[in-house]
A and B are shown apart, each in its own frame.
Chain A
Amino acid sequence: MDTTQLLKGVLDVAVLAVVAREDGYGYDVVRRLRAGGLEEVGEASVYGTLRRLYSSGALTSYVVPSDEGPHRKYYGINAQGRTMLAAQRKDWDAFSHAMTGLLAEGDQR
């Protein structure tokens, strides 16, 4: 199965969940998603998703300068993001429950 297609639909909620645990910058979020099992996630997709969630008002953002190299852009979740995360989490629970049920039935036949 092409998991990249599956990932597309859930990347938003995955990124929200990761950032909700702790503020993070782009690559930090990628690393945490990969550590969480989403090995295939593309960095640019994560960065773009962070930018979009920020533009839509679900995330806050701040820049942390670095002595050694380029500055890092951190993202954190805000109230709107938490509301969005809660709603999507509920949707995901319902969806995954349905899928699990469907696939289980298919197995029995």
Chain B
Amino acid sequence: MTTMLLDRVAAYAEAVRSHLADLGPEIADELTDGLEADLAEELADRSIDGAETADDTVLLDLARVFGPAGEYALELRSAAGHAPVPSARRLRRTPVRDAARSTWRLWEAWGRRLVARVAALPGGGWLVETVPLLRPVWWLVRGWVWFVLLMVLTGGTLGAGRLAPFAPDSFVAWALLIAAAVVSIEHGRGRWAERRRIGGLLVAGQALAVLAVVPLAAAAWTSATQAHYYPVYASAGSDPVAAPQDGVVVGGMYVSNLFVYDAQGNPLHDVQIVDDRGRPVRTVTDGSDSVWSLPGVADPWQFAPVVDASGRDRWNVYPLSGAPAGEWTWDAASGAPVLVPGASLQQPPAPFGAAEALVGTGVGGSVAAAPPGGADGTVPDAPSATGSQAASEAPATPSEPTAPSGAPAQSPSPSGP
């Protein structure tokens, strides 16, 4: 059989296929798979008979051999058990429908030409045979695209977790994803090809999926790669306590300073505080340039560490001393905060000069409040004492805030209340 005849056969098969287009590409392909070979062989048979093909021009118009392609298609589809005659409504033409159909045919023809050209390349045959096997993969991808679009359309009501809208993280979202995948697979297998209304919806869904798959995949990729950097407590919003950071929190807010009183209620100075593992407890965590509002003080304050005997900054020596922020500047050379000339470190105002005294500490382990007289605001022999003296004078208390011997090299002058 000549190439020209094969081309004719292919054109006739194509015409038959176009009359089956309403069944969907998969069913149309299934119905016409191998049709070219059958037509070609029948044609060869008939030309041997010589009856109908005496004249070569007849062969150029295969419709005169096999009948009009539309009738051929009708016979094929009705024998295959598909709706034999498209309903009147189906045939109703509108400019939009016509335009869509002719565009689709144009693309389809272009696609078939492309496939034929690829098949002719070395290894192209393998490609052309293999790619259709990957169809189910596309069905799954399409299901996922529909899922994401539905998640977006529902505006996060179906799940708004960290993975949304690209991956399910709720029961409803999982159900939706599975449903979308099943619908896509069933559509791929031609399940609703003859249900016009559903079919139209699914064709629109297909077009949408083709358009959306690349941008959505790109967005999902970005989301997936950035997900690692999301803090775990992001949902806690601006609540500072939710973020586990260093610092001392009382009543939900960070405190700038700690004031320590002995059993008699006297203020202690230069008290080192560590946690149960011996780690320094720091209120000021990010260096000395953070500025704190103090209760009842107009200017915010900035604090300074105590420098120990080995010259190391110690931030867990309380109460921290500092100065109003206006008295601080930056050292031109090191960039470290320094006091302006004439200013000196002071202890910030204490909440009260003396705390309530305790009695009975260390006796039977019970602690009781002192009689009112001990806590009336008087300061018994306190503020002039240095931290270490105060600590050594203090009786044994549950917290034992004694300063070690190698203690603070810099003792800020205690300021009385």
Q: Do A and B come from one complex?
A: yes
- Measured CB to CB, the residues of A under 8 A from B are 11, 25-27, 30-31, 42-49, 51-52, 55, 63, 66, 68-73
Instruction: Return A52 CB to nearest CB of chain B, in Å.
Output: 4
Instruction: Return A67 CB to nearest CB of chain B, in Å.
Output: 12
Q: Are A47 and B45 in contact (CB under 8 A)?
A: no
Size of the chain B interface, CB-CB below 8 angstroms: 27
- Measured CB to CB, the residues of B under 8 A from A are 1, 6, 9-10, 30-31, 33-42, 45, 66, 72-73, 75-81
* Contact flag A11-B79 (CB < 8 Å), given A25-B34, A70-B40: yes
Q: Counting chain B CB atoms within 10 Å of each CB, which of A26, A44, A45, A73 scores highest?
A: A44
Q: Are B79 and A49 in contact (CB under 8 A)?
A: yes
Of all A-B residue pairs in the complex, the 4 with the closest CB atoms, nearest first, are A48-B79, A73-B34, A70-B36, A48-B80
Bound complex: CA A42 to CA B6 (Å): 21
Chain A to chain B contacts (Cβ below 8 Å), 28 pairs? A25-B34, A27-B38, A27-B42, A30-B42, A31-B45, A43-B42, A44-B73, A44-B75, A45-B75, A45-B79, A47-B76, A48-B75, A48-B76, A48-B81, A51-B76, A52-B79, A52-B81, A55-B81, A66-B37, A69-B1, A69-B6, A70-B9, A70-B10, A70-B40, A71-B34, A71-B37, A72-B38, A73-B37
Instruction: Return A2 CB to nearest CB of chain B, in Å.
Output: 15
Bound complex: CA A47 to CA B79 (Å): 8
Bound complex: CA A25 to CA B35 (Å): 10
Instruction: Return A16 CB to nearest CB of chain B, in Å.
Output: 14
Q: Are B34 and A72 in contact (CB under 8 A)?
A: yes
Bound complex: CA A52 to CA B73 (Å): 14
Q: Are A43 and B38 in contact (CB under 8 A)?
A: yes
Contacts of B6 in A (CB 8 A): 69-70
Contacts of A63 in B (CB 8 A): 33-34
Bound complex: CA A44 to CA B73 (Å): 7
Q: Are B66 and A43 in contact (CB under 8 A)?
A: yes
Contacts of A49 in B (CB 8 A): 79-80
Q: Which of B30, B34, B73, B78 contacts A26 (CB 8 A)?
A: B34
Bound complex: CA A47 to CA B80 (Å): 8
Contacts of B10 in A (CB 8 A): 70
Instruction: Return B114 CB to nearest CB of chain A, in Å.
Output: 18
Contacts of A11 in B (CB 8 A): 79
16 more contacts with CB within 8 A, not counting A48-B76, A51-B79, are A27-B39, A30-B42, A43-B38, A43-B42, A44-B72, A44-B73, A47-B35, A48-B31, A48-B77, A48-B78, A49-B80, A51-B31, A52-B81, A55-B80, A69-B40, A73-B33
Instruction: Return the chain B residue nearest A29 by Cβ.
Output: B38
Q: Are B75 and A42 in contact (CB under 8 A)?
A: yes
Instruction: Return the chain A residue nearest B10 by Cβ.
Output: A70
Bound complex: CA A67 to CA B30 (Å): 22
Q: Are A70 and B79 in contact (CB under 8 A)?
A: no
Bound complex: CA A52 to CA B77 (Å): 9
Contacts of A72 in B (CB 8 A): 34, 37-38
